[in-house]
Structures are given as structure tokens and as C-alpha cells.
């Protein structure tokens, strides 16, 4: 039996018995989202492999259980990479998990998010069917954009079997500059950078220092460095990996809950949350370790044009994601009910009501 | 389907209660301009046109229509090419043209909040003074509205590098079928919950009414270069497309035209195209001066390796505009050499361009109809223009069959029936070829979640399982589109 048929049988059985499934790839993001109240596991890790890859098409189609590190290795051998640079929390992390979680890494503001790279999918549905949506081409407006709907839905609407992703050429060369700046100047600095024309592909602020990754040809980068302030750092790859994969010391403090605020990039820093924090994405993401009450953190994030997620650490009575407005939650519930009527897929993981 | 007289009178009574006199049109001669969109082959008259000016009015209209089960077809500028905004004879047209204000330009965050009736180009014009622009540039950009762009997920000539509408919209305010207002997306770079913003983009007015849009703006590039290359063989041009991208270059635009299109465009626009060439490529590169110089060198090297017969560069805005003029006038130019043409919109994987061009050539001989090929080659989006004469008996039907074959071919080689024009009323039968029943059923479930009573644009975008509509594509009779002033490319 193919791995796909095996997954299909398990889902059909769960549907007929109305038993919820916990969909699991590499299990590296088990901390992300609410707990799912079931013991029945749907393991995707044996559903692996490249289905189609032609580098000049800038598209790869892979099975969901394929490990991210294997996928990146294959792309690197053709001088390409995933534009959204997803976190690889453990070596077991899969592409299916990365897409289902919808988390992007340092390159996101400069070459797009996970959802921006999604071209198509093969999905196992809550009706026990297998469907293909989207495709392998950039421009495609036939049918609703189901692949994007699945992206970031934390497995609550179906099982991703295969995904077609847009990939981009790997820059010929990259270097990273470290620039000293006090905390209260960081956001303004990032704002000015957005119109600088610099070929930035990653940015962060931590411990009074801004890090900028620049990408391009060797000669171009060398000519730029002469004109720029800041020091070229060594072991830059290791630094960005530590930010991307949360192995940096900043992410290893577990004494307080870790919040991720995704906000309008130029919105001012919050005096109320002026703790030791990490800024990413040119100001678009602010990581905060804080005991500030959840409702205050949510309120601050909303005022800055975004939202806050309780990323790591559990707080009694606090869900991972903020509750949507009633009319928006109602749309979520109706979609969930239509697409996963029993329901069987990851109940509660995204919102308790789904 | 004609509504029962008492539904009609109830509808009009309730509408006039929430709308001013000039916001409600019911006289037949005033309904006529709304009987079709940019696809004039399909026409219907609605009961009424409503032209609200506030979001509250849109909510009230939706509540009235939901209560009375009256179909609502949203309409922006009416420039769409797939009949998506064609009226429903038992329903109303909800025109958003009076929502025409730019509400906020946020330079620091590089975004703008605009009303849905604002035209695509006017956003770029409004933010130019800040060194910014809005990237998606459908050919109708002087007239098409941003709300319509979201509904269709519009493309343009710069999609390969800068994406489609879905990549350039951050937030949408939407009115649901029951009149609730919801915010999809935000000013941030990602969002929690289901990606309903992605889902609504390209949903062709089937899921909600868009009443406000927050777009992402980009800094204008420091330098632009346009390279024109001519080829003696179309397969060499196709190979050059793949070679440029395989070399690690993402051009801002990469367009291809074949001999018939080149000759028609040159006669029309005097762009300086080599009329003896079998194919030309237009490659636009942008970025910093250094990046553009490097990439221009690499592109020219690949073009030479793939046997380009001539290579011309245009690095001033005037020269660039002249080279683009030929490409951008390709549709009207072809309209001059044939009484009618029929425009297709499939997308294919780039490596299939040579094969598909060859197959189109063979089909052209089989059907006895000429084809002018104009491609967004960088992203594989084809616009073959099938030339025919509707006054010759049977030729229209032949053109339709030919077009259907091209769309099937697009699907067969791993592509899609529509890259940017949408399914609308036009490609319902081809949807049946691209998707199976399980897939179509899944689409219907999504529709039911948003619109259980089929109020919003019923009968469009997704065919019923029982019956696939049999309607043709974009027909242009004697070169007359409903908006002859608009460029089409």
C-alpha cells in the first residue's frame, strides 16, 4: 500500500468513527497552538520525496513528510532556496508542518511569506477524498485559492499530502553587518532602510545591535560595504540560523512566557513592553519575554496594526492565538464545519471552537 | 429566471429606503451600460443598479438582498475579461465606483488604505511623490479598480518578480452576505487564523463584497533596463526564456511575441521591432544600478548563446516606452489585421513553451485559422489570439473549438485554463476539464460556508457538477471591446 493510501484509509476510518486525529510531521512544533484532545495520531513522516522538480521552473513539488533539511539540501544543489526561510526547530521538521504552521523566517519581509510561495497542493479532505488544487505555475486563478486557505490552518481543515512551492535563486554571496544602535532608535533605523535600496535579505535588533544580511554578487556587496557603517561579522550563517531556528540564547530563557507580536513594521516600540526584546523583519516582528497580562499584550499589538501570539509557555486560561471578532470567527466555524464536518482534523489547535 | 413581481417591488421599496435617488437605477436605458463587463459576448439586464457611497449602505443592501434571496453581483470598473461582473437577470448590480477615495498613505510602513473603486494606476500616481508604487499592473490599469483587482487576483507584466494582487494586498474590509463587516488580514506581515484574505483574493465576487483595501507599496527601483532580442526560430526564444531563469535571474518582465504578433504590432506602433524575426523577447530588468548592470550582462550572454539574431537595449525611459509600446498595443494591432479575434489566457510551465507553440501552430493549420501569440513568457501565461471572421458561417464555432483545444493543452502540460482573466461566466466548461467532481465539490463547500443561499454572483466561477456551461471565450467583433480606449495586453 502506498503511504498516500495508508493515510487515506486512516482518515476515512477516523471519519466513519468520528474520532479526532492529531496530524503530526516531525513533531517539532508541538508547542505551537492549543493542545488537541485526542490520542489518535496521523503520522505523515513516511510520506516523503520529491514529486517534481525542474529548477528552471522555479517550482518544486514535494510530499508533506519530506524533512525541511532534506528539501533545502536538494534545492541548494541547484543553487536555489525557499524564499520564506522557514524555522527548522529540529532535524525532523517537515515541509508539511512548516506550511501547516505558516511560520516564516528572516527572509520573509524581503522575499515573501510561506503563503506567498504556495502554488498548489494535494489535500486529503474531511470528506475522505483526495483533491488537487492550484498547480505548479505562478499565475493561476482557476478555482478558489484552497492552498492558501490550508497554509497556516494548523491542520484543522485537511491533511496536506503534497505541496508545490515557488523557489528562488540562491544569492551568489551574502554578508552580515552589525551596527550599534540604542534601543529607541532601532525602529526608525529600520524604517529608513526600507527606502535605502540596499539588497537586504534579513534584519534583526538585539542587545543594542542591528544585524543586516545583504545578498548579491561578491563585487556588488564589497562596493556596498565600503559605503556602509557597521562591521562585517564572522560566522554570519550560524547567527541567522540561531535566529531562524530559535537556538539563540534569547529563545532559551524559559522563566517568562514568550510572546510574538506581529505588527506594522514602523509602529513605535511599546514603553510598556520595553523589556529585553528581539526585533525581526525590519520591525514587523517583536519577540517579548514578559509576565504582562495577556489582555494588555493583545491590546498593544492590536493598536500597532497586528496581533500577538503566546508563542512559548502556557498561561492558565490563555489560548495561543487571540480570539477573532465574532463575525470573523463565525466564518471560520462555518468553513471548518463544511470542510471537516465530523470533525476529525486537529480539533481546537487553532481556536478552541474549531 | 425572472423574479416574482412582489419580490421585485419589495426589493425596490427597501432599497429606496436606504439609498438616495441617484444611488438607485432602474430605468432600462440607464441599466444598459451595466449589461456586460469587458467580455461583451454575454449580456443581461439586472433589476437595478445600486451605487452606495457608505459602508453602512452596502451592509443594508446586503441585508435586504439576503432576506429576499435576490442575487447580488459586485462590480468595480467593469473591465474584467471573463464575464465575472455580468448581471444576473433576477438580481442587482452592486456598483462600487463611488468608493473612489484614497484614505491613507502610510509612507513609513509602505502601505496605503484605499476604497475599492480607486483605479489601479491612481494608487501609483498618488504615491509617486514618495518614491513608491503599487506593483501589479494589469493592462487595463488606467481604468480597472483595486476592488476588482482583488476579486480577480489580477496580474500584469511584472508578476514573475513582484507577484500577483494576492502578494501585494495586506488587508481587506469585507461585507459578508448577511451584512456583517469583517477585517481580513492586517497591517502586519502575517496573520493568525485561516488565510481568508488569500481565499477572497481571486474569488470573483462569490464570497463577499470588498469595501476597503490596504495595499503594499514598493520603493521605485533606482535603475531599469529593457532588452529586445530577435530570433529566427521560436524554439530558440523559448529556450532563452528558460536559460535566463536557470541562470539565477528573475527579470521584472519577460515577454514573448511571435511573427504575426510582431508584424501587426510594428505596423500599428512603429516600435522598431524586426519584422523578419520569427519571435522576439522583451526583457525588463530593475534594481540598483550595479544589479541591473550585472544582470544585463548575464541576460545578453544567454540571449547570444541561444542564437538571438539581434539584441537592442533601451536604458532611457523614452526608449523603453517605445519598445514596450509595441507589446502593449499587440491586442488592438491584431484587431486591425482580422475582423475578429478570440483571446485565450492559459498558463503553462515555462519549459513547455516551445512544445505548446508548436502544437498551437499545428492546430492553427488544422482549423485553418491564424493565431498571433503574445506571452507573458516569464510566468508562462499565454495570450494566443485566434483570428477569425464572425461573418463567415461556422468560423466562430471553429475559433471556439480551437480555443478549447488550447486550454486543454495548457492543462495537459501541467498548467491552468486561466492565469489572470478569471473563470467568470466564460470558462465554466473548461473548469470541468481542469478539476474533477471532488475538487469542484470542495469549491462548492467553500462557497456554501460564505454564502449558503447563493446570493453572491450565483452561477459564476465554479460550474455545477451536473452541468458545465458551454460558453466561449473573449470575443472581439471588429476590434470593438466595450472599452476601446483601454490598452489590452
> What is the residue-level pLDDT of chain B in tens, covering all 489 positions?
556 678 999 999 999 999 999 999 999 999 999 999 988 778 999 999 999 999 999 999 999 999 999 999 999 999 998 999 999 999 999 999 999 999 999 999 999 999 999 999 999 999 999 999 999 999 889 999 999 999 999 998 899 999 999 999 999 999 999 999 999 999 999 999 999 999 999 999 999 999 999 999 999 999 999 999 999 999 999 999 999 999 999 999 999 999 999 999 999 999 999 999 999 999 999 999 999 999 999 999 999 999 999 999 998 999 999 999 888 888 889 989 999 888 899 999 999 999 999 999 999 999 999 999 999 999 999 999 999 998 999 998 899 899 989 999 999 999 999 999 999 988 888 899 899 889 999 999 999 999 999 999 999 999 988 755 444 333 343 444 455 555 555
B465 touches chain A (CB under 8 A): no
- As for how many domains chain B has, the answer is 4
Q: Which residues of B touch A309 (CB under 8 A)?
A: 192
In Å, how far is A114's CA from the nearest CA of chain B?
9
Count of CB atoms situated within 10 Å of the CB of A109? 22
Nearest CB to A335; choose among B106, B194, B243: B194
Q: In the listed set B95, B112, B142, which residue is the last one of a domain according to the structure?
A: B95
DSSP state, B119? B
Determine the Cα–Cα distance for residues A213 and B234; give it in Å rounded to an integer. 41
Determine the Cα–Cα distance for residues B143 and A28; give it in Å rounded to an integer. 49
Which residues between 88 and 147 in chain A have a beta carbon less than 8 angstroms from any beta carbon of chain B?
102, 104, 108-109, 112-113, 115-116, 125, 127, 129-133, 135-146
Nearest CB to B439; choose among A131, A153, A170: A131
Total number of residues shown for chain A: 354
In a domain, B303, yes or no: yes
What ipTM is given for this predicted complex?
0.97
In a domain, B489, yes or no: no
In a shared domain, residues B131 and B24: no
In a shared domain, residues B324 and B344: no
Q: In the listed set B95, B130, B159, which residue is the last one of a domain according to the structure?
A: B95
Close Cβ partners of B6 (under 8 Å, ≥ 6 residues apart): none
Nearest CB to B180; choose among A139, A285, A327: A327
In a shared domain, residues B251 and B184: no
In a domain, B19, yes or no: yes
What local confidence, expressed as pLDDT, does residue B2 receive? 56
Determine the Cα–Cα distance for residues A287 and A279; give it in Å rounded to an integer. 6
Count of CB atoms situated within 10 Å of the CB of A200? 19
What parts of chain A have a pLDDT lower than 50?
Answer: none
Nearest-by-CA chain A residue for B382: A139
A41 touches chain B (CB under 8 A): no
DSSP state string for A129-171: -EEEEE-SSS---SS--HHHHHTTSTTSS-EEEEEEEE-EEPP
- Residue B111 vs residues A166, B124, B169, B350: alpha-carbon distances, Å: 25, 11, 9, 32
In a shared domain, residues B145 and B271: no
B416 touches chain A (CB under 8 A): yes
Strands (DSSP E) contained in A181-312 are: 200-206, 209-216, 231-232, 258-262, 277-280, 285-289, 307-312
Q: Which of A141, A148, A310, A324 to mutate to test the interface with B (most CBs of B within 10 A)?
A: A141
What local confidence, expressed as pLDDT, does residue A103 receive? 97
CB contact under 8 A, B442 and A129: yes
Q: Based on C-alpha coordinates, what's the Rg of chain B?
A: 23
A228 touches chain B (CB under 8 A): no
- Buried b vs exposed e over B412-425: b needs ≥16 C-beta within 10 Å? ebbbbbbbbbbbbb
What's the first-to-final CA gap in chain A, in angstroms?
32
Domain A3-169 indexed as CATH 3.30.465.10: yes
Close Cβ partners of B76 (under 8 Å, ≥ 6 residues apart): B85, B96, B97, B116, B117, B144, B145, B146, B147, B148, B149, B151
Q: Which residues of A touch B106 (CB under 8 A)?
A: 264, 266
In a shared domain, residues B239 and B209: no
DSSP state string for B328-391: HTHHHHHHHHSSEEEE---B--GGGHHHHHHHHHHHHHHHT--EEEEEEGGGTEEEEEEEE-TT
Residue among A212, A217, A208 at smallest CA distance from A110: A212
Close Cβ partners of A41 (under 8 Å, ≥ 6 residues apart): A21, A22, A24
Q: Which residues of B touch A108 (CB under 8 A)?
A: 189-190
- Residue A167 vs residues A81, A228, B248, B350: alpha-carbon distances, Å: 6, 30, 11, 14
Q: Degrees (nearest 5) of the Cα angle A150, A154, A157?
A: 50
In a shared domain, residues B47 and B173: no
Count of CB atoms situated within 10 Å of the CB of B104? 10
Which residues between 195 and 234 in chain B have a beta carbon less than 8 angstroms from any beta carbon of chain A?
195-196, 198-199, 201-203, 206-207, 219, 222
In a domain, B141, yes or no: yes
In Å, how far is A268's CA from the nearest CA of chain B?
11
Q: DSSP 3-state assignment of B156?
A: coil
What local confidence, expressed as pLDDT, does residue A39 receive? 85
Q: Which value, to the nearest 10 degrees, does the dihedral of the CA atoms of residues A188, A194, A195, A198 take? A: 120
Residue among B379, B396, B374 at smallest CA distance from B473: B396
Nearest CB to B248; choose among A143, A169, A197: A169
Sheet hosting strand B48-50, strand order edge to edge: B24-25, B48-50, B92-95, B72-75
Query: Which helix or strand (DSSP H or E) is residue A23 part of?
Result: strand A22-24
What local confidence, expressed as pLDDT, does residue B400 receive? 85
Q: Which residues pair with B24 in a beta bridge?
A: B50
In a shared domain, residues B283 and B256: yes
Question: In chain A, where are the structural domains located?
Answer: 3-169, 172-312
In a domain, B487, yes or no: no
Close Cβ partners of B396 (under 8 Å, ≥ 6 residues apart): B340, B388, B390, B472, B475
In a shared domain, residues B415 and B385: yes
Phi, psi of A309 (to 5 degrees): -125, 135
B90 lies in which domain range? 5-95
Q: Which residues of A touch B190 (CB under 8 A)?
A: 102, 104, 108, 113, 152, 262
CATH code for position B53: 3.30.43.10
Residue among A300, A305, A298 at smallest CA distance from A320: A298
Q: Which of B154, B195, B240, B410 to mutate to test the interface with A (most CBs of A within 10 A)?
A: B195
In a shared domain, residues B317 and B359: no
What local confidence, expressed as pLDDT, does residue B41 receive? 76
Q: Could you tell me if B379 and B162 are in contact, meaning their C-beta atoms sit under 8 angstroms apart?
A: no
CB contact under 8 A, B189 and A281: yes
> Residue A290's Cα: distance from chain center in Å?
22
Phi/psi-derived region of residue B343, left when phi > 0, alpha when psi is between -120 and 50, beta in every other case: beta
Nearest CB to A140; choose among B183, B291, B347: B347
CB contact under 8 A, A133 and B442: yes
In a shared domain, residues B395 and B421: yes
Determine the Cα–Cα distance for residues A148 and A60; give it in Å rounded to an integer. 16
What local confidence, expressed as pLDDT, does residue B481 receive? 46
In a domain, B485, yes or no: no
In a shared domain, residues B80 and B109: no
Q: In the listed set B282, B305, B328, which residue is the last one of a domain according to the structure?
A: B328
Cell of B119: 483605479
Amino acid at each position: 500500500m502506498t503511504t498516500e493510501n495508508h493515510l487515506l484509509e486512516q482518515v476515512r476510518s477516523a471519519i466513519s468513527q468520528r474520532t479526532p486525529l492529531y496530524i503530526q510531521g516531525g513533531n517539532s512544533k508541538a508547542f505551537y497552538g492549543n493542545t488537541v484532545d485526542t490520542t489518535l495520531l496521523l503520522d505523515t513522516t513516511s510520506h516523503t520525496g520529491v514529486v517534481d522538480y525542474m529548477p528552471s521552473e522555479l517550482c518544486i513539488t514535494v510530499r508533506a513528510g519530506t524533512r525541511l533539511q532534506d528539501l533545502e539540501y536538494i534545492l541548494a544543489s541547484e543553487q536555489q532556496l525557499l524564499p520564506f526561510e522557514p524555522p527548522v526547530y529540529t532535524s525532523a521538521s517537515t515541509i508539511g508542518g512548516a506550511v501547516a504552521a505558516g511560520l516564516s523566517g528572516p527572509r520573509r519581509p524581503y522575499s515573501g511569506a510561506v503563503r506567498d510561495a504556495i502554488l498548489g497542493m494535494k489535500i486529503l479532505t474531511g470528506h475522505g477524498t483526495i483533491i488537487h488544487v492550484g498547480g505548479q505555475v505562478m499565475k493561476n486563478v482557476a478555482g478558489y485559492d484552497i492552498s492558501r486557505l490550508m497554509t497556516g490552518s494548523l491542520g484543522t481543515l485537511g491533511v496536506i499530502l503534497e505541496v508545490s512551492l515557488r523557489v528562488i535563486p540562491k544569492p551568489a554571496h551574502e554578508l552580515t553587518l552589525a551596527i550599534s544602535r540604542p534601543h529607541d532608535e532601532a525602529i526608525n533605523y529600520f524604517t529608513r532602510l526600507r527606502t535605502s535600496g540596499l539588497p537586504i535579505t534579513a534584519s534583526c535588533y538585539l542587545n543594542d545591535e542591528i544585524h543586516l544580511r545583504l545578498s548579491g554578487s561578491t563585487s556588488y556587496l564589497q562596493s556596498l560595504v565600503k559605503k556602509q557603517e557597521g562591521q562585517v561579522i564572522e560566522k554570519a550563517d550560524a547567527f541567522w540560523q540561531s535566529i531562524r531556528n530559535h537556538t539563540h540564547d534569547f529563545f532559551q530563557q524559559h522563566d517568562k512566557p514568550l510572546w510574538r507580536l506581529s505588527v506594522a513594521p514602523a509602529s513605535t516600540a511599546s514603553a510598556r513592553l520595553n523589556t529585553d526584546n528581539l526585533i525581526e523583519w525590519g520591525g514587523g516582528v517583536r519577540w517579548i519575554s514578559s509576565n504582562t497580562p495577556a489582555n494588555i499584550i493583545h491590546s498593544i499589538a492590536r493598536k500597532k496594526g497586528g496581533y500577538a501570539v503566546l508563542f512559548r509557555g502556557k498561561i492558565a486560561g490563555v489560548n495561543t492565538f487571540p480570539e477573532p471578532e465574532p463575525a470573523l470567527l463565525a466564518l471560520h466555524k462555518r468553513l471548518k464545519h463544511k470542510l471537516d464536518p465530523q470533525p476529525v482534523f486537529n480539533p481546537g489547535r487553532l481556536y478552541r471552537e474549531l | 429566471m425572472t423574479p416574482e413581481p412582489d419580490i421585485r417591488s419589495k426589493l425596490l421599496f427597501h432599497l429606496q429606503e436606504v439609498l438616495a435617488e441617484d444611488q438607485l437605477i432602474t430605468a432600462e436605458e440607464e441599466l444598459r451600460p451595466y449589461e456586460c463587463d469587458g467580455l461583451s459576448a454575454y449580456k443581461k439586464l439586472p433589476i437595478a443598479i445600486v451605487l452606495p457611497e457608505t459602508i453602512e449602505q452596502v451592509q443594508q443592501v446586503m441585508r435586504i438582498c439576503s432576506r429576499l434571496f435576490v442575487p447580488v453581483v459586485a462590480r468595480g470598473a467593469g473591465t474584467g475579461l471573463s464575464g465575472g461582473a455580468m448581471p444576473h437577470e433576477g438580481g442587482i448590480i452592486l456598483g462600487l465606483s463611488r468608493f473612489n477615495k484614497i484614505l491613507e498613505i502610510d509612507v513609513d510602513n509602505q502601505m496605503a488604505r484605499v476604497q475599492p473603486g480607486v483605479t489601479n494606476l491612481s494608487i501609483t500616481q498618488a504615491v509617486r511623490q514618495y518614491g513608491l508604487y503599487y506593483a501589479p499592473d494589469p493592462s487595463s490599469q488606467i481604468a480597472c479598480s483595486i476592488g476588482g483587482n482583488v476579486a480577480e487576483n489580477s496580474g500584469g507584466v511584472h508578476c514573475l518578480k513582484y507577484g500577483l494582487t494576492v502578494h501585494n494586498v495586506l488587508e481587506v474590509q469585507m461585507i459578508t452576505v448577511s451584512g456583517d463587516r469583517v477585517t481580513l488580514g492586517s497591517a502586519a506581515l502575517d496573520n493568525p487564523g485561516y488565510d481568508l484574505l488569500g481565499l477572497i483574493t481571486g474569488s470573483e465576487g462569490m464570497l463577499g463584497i470588498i469595501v476597503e483595501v490596504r495595499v503594499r507599496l514598493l520603493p521605485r527601483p533606482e535603475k531599469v533596463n529593457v532588452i529586445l532580442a530577435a530570433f529566427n526560430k521560436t524554439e530558440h526564444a523559448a529556450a532563452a526564456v528558460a536559460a535566463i531563469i536557470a541562470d539565477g535571474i528573475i527579470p521584472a518582465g519577460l515577454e514573448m511575441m511571435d511573427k504575426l504578433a510582431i508584424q501587426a504590432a510594428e505596423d500599428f506602433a512603429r516600435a522598431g521591432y524586426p519584422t523578419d524575426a520569427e519571435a522576439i523577447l522583451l526583457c525588463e530588468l530593475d534594481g540598483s544600478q550595479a544589479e541591473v548592470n550585472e544582470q544585463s550582462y548575464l541576460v545578453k550572454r544567454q540571449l547570444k548563446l541561444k542564437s538571438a539574431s539581434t539584441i537592442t537595449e533601451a536604458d532611457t525611459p523614452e526608449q523603453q516606452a517605445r519598445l514596450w509600446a509595441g507589446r502593449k498595443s499587440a491586442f488592438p494591432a491584431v484587431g486591425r489585421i482580422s475582423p475578429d479575434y478570440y483571446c485565450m489566457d492559459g498558463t503553462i510551465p515555462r519549459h513547455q513553451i516551445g512544445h505548446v507553440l508548436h502544437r498551437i501552430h499545428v492546430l492553427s493549420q488544422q482549423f485553418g485559422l491564424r493565431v498571433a501569440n503574445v506571452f507573458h513568457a516569464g510566468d508562462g501565461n499565454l495570450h494566443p489570439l485566434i483570428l477569425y471572421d464572425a461573418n463567415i458561417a461556422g468560423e466562430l464555432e471553429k475559433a471556439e473549438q480551437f480555443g478549447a483545444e488550447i486550454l486543454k493543452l495548457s492543462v495537459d502540460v501541467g498548467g491552468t485554463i486561466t492565469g489572470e482573466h478569471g473563470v467568470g461566466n466564460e470558462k465554466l466548461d473548461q473548469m470541468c476539464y481542469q478539476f474533477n467532481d471532488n475538487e469542484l465539490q470542495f469549491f462548492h463547500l467553500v462557497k456554501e460556508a460564505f454564502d449558503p443561499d447563493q446570493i453572491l454572483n450565483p452561477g459564476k466561477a465554479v460550474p455545477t457538477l451536473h452541468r458545465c456551461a458551454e460558453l466561449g471565450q473573449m470575443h472581439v467583433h471588429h476590434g470593438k471591446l466595450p472599452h476601446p480606449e483601454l490598452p489590452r495586453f
